[in-house]
Amino acid sequence: MLKIRLGVAPAQGSGPAEFAGLAERLEAAGVDSLWLSELVYSPEVDPMVGMAHALARTSKLKVGTGVAILPGRHPVLVAKQLLTLAGLAPKRVLPVFGLRPARKAEHDLFPVPEGRRAAVFDESLTLLRRLLDEDDVTFEGEFFQVSGVTLGPRPAKPLDVWLGGTAPAALARAGRLADGWLGSFHTPAESLAARLAIQRAASEAGREIEEDHFGLSLAVADRGLSPELTAVAARRRPGVPVTDLIATSWPEARRLVEQHIESGLSKFVIRPGHGDFDGFLEKFQSELVPLQN
């Protein structure tokens, strides 16, 4: 039986003032995990800083990035951050990485050679995985070269690195290089197809991804679809009905989560489609937490 777990993301547009105290509140409420997006031109907290804050103020809550951008960052520095967090909060650090920012205006903040972002991502992941798994790393790649790098103690349980992405190349990359996948703006049928594509790519690479390492980020717009959320869905998935991608009520959220579970997904990040986190958390606990096993 798949281990079903549901976490939450902060309310849209919430900043440091709203974030302060959120982790303790979620832990007291028994929430499994907190997920932080990388949205630079916004009030939202930086995911790595936010993770450090939340982990330091809790003892059980897991904290993840959903998602952070890897190409444009040096893998050695990212590995150092993750190993430090994992050493301070064992088994509670959940990194998920993506290819490029969701907002086009932020692309230049993560510079890579023109036309080589996918290649940089592949090499960054390869080096990052070695840095997380090995004590002494020498690497000679096209974009990164390191010699005899040692970053300090590694956690007893190796860190899992998950990826986002929806394109065929992204799914193949997840199969070749990742430990899991966190999708978004997928219908249940598309989640099934994505999971199978990732598992095929993993098998072709001589790897296996654990069956409960497939998840989805789902927005719940129970107070109406905002123009911004509708625009994001249309941009990400043109031609797909928005109600197949975003829940517009809590019964609909439960129905969609159940259908994604039938598609083989077991980890979910539930995002509020409005700014009232109090009302969101109450409904999340009553309507969706009972799906956990």
Looking up residue 108, the CATH number of its domain turns out to be: 3.20.20.30
CA distance 160 to 202: 15
**Could you tell me if 132 and 248 lie in one domain?**
no
- Are residues 64 and 168 located together in one domain of the fold? no
Q: Is residue 151 domain-resident?
A: yes
Within a domain: 6? no
DSSP state of 243: G
pTM equals: 0.96
Which pLDDT score is estimated for 220?
98
Can you read off the two tokens belonging to residue 154? Answer: 């590694």
Q: Does 103 share its domain with 219?
A: no
Which segments within the chain are labelled E, that is strand? 5-8, 33-36, 62-65, 68-69, 93-94, 96-98, 137-140, 145-149, 162-163, 180-184, 214-220, 267-272
Residue 36 shares a structural domain with residue 145:
yes
Query: Which residue type is seen at 24?
Result: E
pLDDT in tens, 157-191: 899 999 999 999 999 999 999 999 999 999 999 99
Contacts of 142 by beta carbon, 8 Å cutoff, 6+ apart: 119, 123
User: Quick one: 131 and 176 in the same domain?
Assistant: no
Total of domains in the chain: 2
- Would 2 be classed as within a structural domain? no
Distance between CA atoms of 219 and 35, rounded to whole angstroms?
A: 13
Q: What mean pLDDT, rounded, does the chain reach?
A: 97
CB atoms within 10 A of CB 27: 18
Band (1; pLDDT cuts 50, 70, 90): confident
Per residue in 197-234, pLDDT (tens digit) is 999 999 999 999 999 999 999 999 999 999 989 999 99
pLDDT at 105: 96
Give me the domain span that covers residue 108: 14-157
